[in-house]
Structure 1
């Protein structure tokens, strides 16, 4: 069985208290997005104490300063954990030709890294916004559980259950993991997940997520979708439906999974307004949103969205830009 290397880190421990611990695993370029996530959590949970952890292989001086500056707020602590980039070299073949980065594998070191800080921790992707209280999640009794998760979309679940031959017929999205650290470590989940990736990675569509589902098949606790409410913007925009369509109370964490994100102001979806609201309250408020597509894939999608809105000439212009950007990549 593959062993988990000892992470190289820089951090500080301020002692235990009643903090709710939340951890992010991000590239340096995703701190802006993570900042909006944190701001949304603090806005809707003003009386809580939080400890925010970020795991990264590199952090710019500005991002470190802004992140650690959050600890100036009453009841907030922050820890930066720097990981040796070489820790993830063995997974390079699974990220080289996709939009995934090695950060997706960093969550596998969370329990080992944070076991001296807390007995349970909430992992969140940085494309999630909080729109309500986390009281009910904090009250969840995880004593007998390794991890609490939320099921993925029905269509995705059906495809991945069949592809991975999952015996219990359930499949979760790993953008939210509420981890019982002691039970996770006792069960050896990280080591088993690494082994699954290295031995079966070629058949995994979502490398770490598929591997976690294989390893935790029948061992994860499924909770309400409000804690990882998946919302894809592409379908809305292709159908010229720019409104954010979520029933009141249906979501506490909105997860903007998919290739279009709410910090892409160019997309024209109302989710951008929600992100802007959170972004303005974050430490990264001075960092602008993406006002135009950032790559050829986004340029192509923007062309499609404009066409759906009846802006045919502008759509064609962006399609030509997409062709030029693709040739230059």
Structure 2
């Protein structure tokens, strides 16, 4: 399954650079910029090629993405996906229930086939905290991907719901893909069909489907390569400093509150700013206040924990009005 692309320049399969891919929209380009600068900062001397997959990117974000190449001497490639690629699935009634964006990262291996034999996919709410040399040197064997276990409770619940005999479940925010094996085993096609046929039973449609299709075809590695840090856990106890998590490769702010939410008043914001200010998106301010009713409700709870009763009530009223 090949995607229709623009802004793509072919390179050799023998390209020695390390390839990393993101799937974003315009709103997440700012956070992706911090992810990329954190990777570059901790891995001097590594030749990187950064791929961005999107259905549309503004001219401003295109300019900033190009600036990355100039600023840091890395290779950047923008892949604009033509939604028409999903037309072969349009006859399946379930397809209309899902936004095509949940399928985007499934296009990475077919797009990069012939360009690189391995690619690291990362969510754009991740920061690199150290060298990735160990990760880069991993041997896939015959595995289609190398992945990281999800949290214990999530694993228990999803294994039961999906009836995974391995009793293992991964978080798909970090996936090191073996392009050749992935394509040979038709993982993309099988995952899309799994979503369309069983998606109503999936809590996380693409992640659950990937776990079902890839069971027995993957390697698991240490959680330090996708350390899940839920800011809500801290803020509902009014803990505003980062917990001691020890040495990790990637810290993944996978919860509903993100470190670029300046209103959360958590030390993770300082960590994000450290890399954000070195990126081409540095002039874009952090989110100064909650932007939707879900964030308003969470902020009201956080304020109550801080003893700010009046402000908590005020934001709760805003939440009720925005529902």
The interval holding the TM-score normalised by the smaller chain is over 0.9
Counterpart CA distance in 1 for 2:215 and 2:114 is 27
Which residue of the partner structure matches residue 292 of structure 2? 295
Which residue of the partner structure matches residue 5 of structure 2? 9
Gaps of 5+ in 1: 96-101
Alignment of 1:96-245 (within 5 A): 102-245=100-243
Counterpart CA distance in 2 for 1:74 and 1:156 is 38
RMSD of the alignment, in Å? 1.4
Alpha-carbon shift at residue 223 of structure 1 (Å) = 0.3
Equivalent position SS for 1:281? coil
Classify 1:168/1:296 alpha carbon distance in 2 versus 1 (closer, same or farther; 3 Å). Answer: same
CA deviation digits over 1:108-137, x for unaligned, max 9? 111000012110000000000001000100
Alignment of 1:53-92 (within 5 A): 53-73=51-71, 75-88=73-86, 90=90, 91-92=95-96
Alpha-carbon shift at residue 79 of structure 1 (Å) = 0.2
Alpha-carbon shift at residue 142 of structure 1 (Å) = 1.5
Alignment of 1:259-270 (within 5 A): 259-270=256-267
Counterpart CA distance in 2 for 1:218 and 1:168 is 8
Which residue of the partner structure matches residue 25 of structure 1? 23
Alpha-carbon shift at residue 75 of structure 1 (Å) = 4.3
Counterpart CA distance in 2 for 1:114 and 1:7 is 10
Alpha-carbon shift at residue 105 of structure 1 (Å) = 1.4
- Aligned match for 1:322, one of 311, 314, 319: 319
CA deviation digits over 1:85-124, x for unaligned, max 9? 34457544135xxxxxx43311111100001211000000
Kept in 2, the 8 Å contact 1:166–1:214? The answer is: yes
Counterpart CA distance in 2 for 1:103 and 1:26 is 9
Counterpart CA distance in 2 for 1:88 and 1:32 is 28
- Aligned match for 2:98, one of 94, 101, 117: 94
- Aligned match for 2:306, one of 299, 306, 309: 309
Kept in 2, the 8 Å contact 1:25–1:104? The answer is: no
Counterpart CA distance in 2 for 1:144 and 1:93 is 34
Kept in 2, the 8 Å contact 1:243–1:269? The answer is: yes
Kept in 2, the 8 Å contact 1:27–1:103? The answer is: no
Counterpart CA distance in 2 for 1:302 and 1:125 is 24
Counterpart CA distance in 2 for 1:88 and 1:126 is 24
Which residue of the partner structure matches residue 250 of structure 2? 253
CA deviation digits over 1:220-259, x for unaligned, max 9? 100010111101111110111111113331x110000011
